[in-house]
Structure 1
């Protein structure tokens, strides 16, 4: 599980509820099931109308992407590519066949197998870039579902509040009950705005960030595969791929490259 996602959701909800309670609010005043039905039911209904069934079936995958931390180790990928580039220069690319088949990363495995099979470099780039584009497009679809929910939820909250006010204004016989009834009506707005900004939109952003991290790692692998296929110097490959690392890690990586070059 991605602990940051869990902590963020819990902290956001507790902050809203805790602030309300500290002001002397009654927790029971927020538990309005009719408002919840209008807001969440209306939001889910609008999302279902907006997307085909094939996209809606991807919601579990989108949630896994947001809540389950995916391990990315670009430094390990660089080390693997540099090691294989060294082997390829000494023994030829055919010596990489078994290592390529045993590689646990499907993207890197496919690219290496194309190198071993002697695929044209331009065709190798085209195939791998098409796969990256397809995956990125799929992730964008994940995020759009939650972005749509984040857009619909506040509107459904306003609709729920309007419906509540219509009910209140249609029953003015007891002026003393107007205050509590109006407060109940505005609970729908709270549900809509809070769910959009604490749940739906943050999840969409987390999916985008996860996708960006994965695409960056695959771009690194793609450049490494093509450099290996071109027979470039392993240490130059290492230096080139280090540009994909975070700025604070790049300096340490470049020092390692200089040391390796000096030793060689």
Structure 2
């Protein structure tokens, strides 16, 4: 669990609610189901229209990694690469076949399999770089779901405010109904701007940071596989990986 992310969203929402109380307001006044439906359903619909079902669902699933990130396997990868490079230099690339079954990560398994198959080093590097480019492109399309939500939510909140004001204008002769209309108008704006800046955009930016870290790790792997295929000294390969971490 990434407690910094949990604390961040708790502080952001908690600060908003505490400010409402300190100004003498009531928390109940921020609970407006009509405003929430307008902003929530409207934002989901707009994002789904822009992104498509597949990217939308992948983007929603990615949000889990903000709070429960994938384990950092960099040290494990470095240990594996040192072992593989030493083994390959001593006994040849075919001797790496014994390690293939224990590798669960598809990218690492693909690189190791191509080493065992004796693929040309430059062709191996080109294939893995193409694979990485494709992976990064698809991940960025999924992450754009949250950027899109952060862009649409404030605008839809304004639409909700206008709808609330229309309701107010229609009931000028009935003062009892003016309060609910005004509440929906202002709370819809709060929902739109608040969700965009406190939830959607921070999640999108955190996912971009996590993706950048994963891409850097895979670039390190590509350099390592390329070095093993060329027959480089294991120490040289280790130094090259260390340079990628700086």
CA distance in 2, matches of 1:46, 1:110: 38
Partners in 1 of 2:106 and 2:139 — Cα distance?
A: 18
- Per-residue deviation at 1:183? 4.3
Aligned counterpart, 2:121 = 121
Residue 257 (structure 1) aligns with: none
Corresponding residue of 1:132: 132
Q: How far is the alpha carbon of 1:48 from its aligned partner?
A: 2.1
The aligned counterpart of 2:202 is 202
Q: Is the 8 A contact 1:142 1:204 kept in 2?
A: no
Give the 3-state SS of the residue equivalent to 1:173 in structure 2: coil
Q: In the aligned structure 2, how far is the partner of 1:183 from the partner of 1:160?
A: 11
Residues 58, 142 of structure 2: 8 Å contact kept: yes
> Could you say what secondary structure the match of 2:101 adopts?
helix
CA distance in structure 2 between the aligned counterparts of 1:42 and 1:184, rounded to whole angstroms: 15
Give the conservation status (yes or no) of the 8 Å contact 1:139–1:207.
no
Q: Within 2, Cα distance between the matches of 1:76 and 1:49?
A: 41
Question: What secondary structure, in the 3-state scheme, does the structure 1 residue paired with 2:63 have?
Answer: helix
2:188 matched to 1:188? yes
TM-score (norm 2): 0.92
Separation in 1, partners of 2:54, 2:183:
40
Q: Is the 8 A contact 2:120 2:229 kept in 1?
A: no
Task: Please name the residue that 2:14 is paired with.
Answer: 14
The runs of 5 or more residues in structure 1 that have no matched partner are 247-264
Q: Are the equivalent residues in 2 in contact too, given 1:29–1:184 (CA < 8 A)? A: no
Contact kept, 8 Å, 1:101 with 1:113, in 2: the verdict is no
Residue-by-residue CA offset, 1:148-192 (whole Å, 9 max, x unaligned): 111110001101111111222333336798677534421110000
Matching residue of 2:232:
232
CA distance in 2, matches of 1:60, 1:156: 20
User: Who is 1:61 aligned against?
Assistant: 61
1:133-148 to structure 2, matched below 5 A, reads: 133-148=133-148
**Distance in 2 of aligned mates of 1:27 and 1:132:** 48
Question: What are the within-5 Å matches in structure 2 for residues 141-180 of structure 1?
Answer: 141-173=141-173
The structure-2 alpha-carbon separation of the partners of 1:52 and 1:183, relative to structure 1 and needing over 3 Å to count, comes to: closer
Q: Secondary structure at the match of 1:172?
A: coil
CA deviations over 1:7-43 (Å, ceiling 9, x no partner) = 2222211111111112211011111111111111111
Decide whether the 8 Å contact of 2:56 with 2:142 is kept in 1: no
Q: Aligned partners of 1:17 and 1:95: how far apart in 2? A: 62
RMSD: 2.0
Structure 2 unaligned segments of length 5 or more: list them: none
What is the distance in 1 between the residues matched to 2:211 and 2:119?
Answer: 28
| Distance apart, 1:119 and its partner CA | 0.6
For 2:243 and 2:165, how far apart are their aligned partners in 1?
A: 58
Maintained 8 Å contact 1:35/1:187: yes
Q: CA deviation at 1:69?
A: 1.1
For 1:44-86, what per-residue CA distance to the aligned partner results, in whole angstroms no more than 9, with x for missing partners? 1112222222323324432233332111232332222122212
The alignment's TM-score, normalised by the length of structure 1, stands at 0.86
Mapped contact 2:59–2:143 kept (Cα < 8 A): no
Partner of 2:50: 50
Q: Deviations over 1:208-235 (max 9, x none)?
A: 1111111111111110011011111111
